[in-house]
Structures are given as C-alpha cells and as structure tokens.
Amino acid sequence: MEEDKTTLEAVHRLMLELAETREKMKHIKDDLKDIAEQNDEYRALAEELKEASVKRQTAKKLLEADKDYQTVNSELEELKFKYKDLQEIMSHHLVTYFSETNETQIASPEGDSMQVVVSAKLGKATA
C-alpha cells in the first residue's frame, strides 16, 4: 500500500511539472514567433507561402470535383479506416497477451522476434 501511495504522489508531482513545462514551452514558442515576424525576409516568405497555399487549395478543389479522383480517394479513405481499426484490434490483443503472459516479445508468423510495447498516458480530466 505504501508503494501505491508513493507512486500516486509521483504521478501527481509529474502532472504539475508537466503542466508547468507545457506552459513554459507555450511562452517560448510565442517569443520565437514574435522574433521571426520581426524578420523582413521571414515575413516576405510567409506571405509567399500564403499565396501558394491559396493556389493549392483552388487546385485541390478542382481535383476533388474529378470523378476518378473521388473514386480513388474513397478507396484510400476506406483502407485508412480499415488500417486504423486493425491497429486498435491488434493493440487490444497485444495488451491481453502482455497481461496474460508478462512477455515483452512475440514471434511473428515469419519467426522474427518483435518487441511488445505497452504504453500508458493520462487523458483529459473528466467531471
């Protein structure tokens, strides 16, 4: 029980430190942005990029109206969805495998040894 309390205290301490570090990073990024925007060459290139982005968006809208593009893009979106779904299923099975065996390696069908990586992170606060 003492170990659980120590672990929980460590988690709470790290939560605070992560929040402080995230805030410092935000301020430094803002400072960097301000410095960059004071540079004439950077501002000129940023403007050129905005113009190119508008042209790219126009070209993309024309492409999206093309039937062949729509067909191939639809197929790609279906495959992306399937791939993400398969990854979630694999993740579930690997967590189950790890919890049942405590093994951090698994053999592939080809006989290669692959590392099982189990990861955890905190989600957003709930009410």
Q: Mind listing the pLDDT tens digit for each residue in 38-51?
A: 999 999 999 999 99
Buried residues in 89-110 as b, exposed as e (16+ CB within 10 A):
eeeeeeeeeeeeeeeeeeeeee
For residue 4, what pLDDT is reported? Answer: 65
Q: Which of 97, 88, 92 is nearest to 115 (CA)?
A: 97
pLDDT for position 2:
62
Helix pair 67-101, 40-64: axis angle to 10 deg:
100
The mean pLDDT of 80-86, rounded to a whole number, is 98
